[in-house]
Amino acid sequence: MKYKLRYSVVVRDPKGKVTFREKGKSRSFLKAWNQALFTQITQQGVSIVDTGGAARTIDDNAINFAMKVTTVSGILLGTDDTPVAIDDYKLGAEIANGYAADTMFREASVNTPAVVVGNNCSFTTTRTFVNWSGGSITVKEMGIVCYFYSGGNKYMQATRDVFVTPLVVVYGGGVVAEYTLEVEA
Q: Which residues bind another protein (CB under 8 A)?
A: 1-5, 13, 15, 17-31, 33-35, 37-38, 40-44, 46, 59-68, 84-88, 111, 113-114, 116, 118-123, 125, 146, 164-165, 170, 181-185
Work out how close the CB of 52 gets to another protein at its nearest, in angstroms, rounded to a whole number: 20
150 CA to centre of own chain: 21
Please state, in angstroms and rounded to a whole number, the distance separating the CA atoms of residues 139 and 91. 12
Work out how close the CB of 21 gets to another protein at its nearest, in angstroms, rounded to a whole number: 5
Spatial neighbors of 148 by CB under 8 A, at least 6 apart, are 32, 36, 48, 50, 56, 58, 61, 63, 64, 65, 154, 155, 156
Please state, in angstroms and rounded to a whole number, the distance separating the CA atoms of residues 92 and 111. 25
Q: Which is nearer to another protein, 95 or 146 (CB)?
A: 146
Q: Which is nearer to another protein, 13 or 96 (CB)?
A: 13
Work out how close the CB of 82 gets to another protein at its nearest, in angstroms, rounded to a whole number: 12
Q: Which is nearer to another protein, 74 or 100 (CB)?
A: 74
Which run of H or of E encompasses 42?
Answer: helix 31-42
Q: Which is nearer to another protein, 68 or 100 (CB)?
A: 68
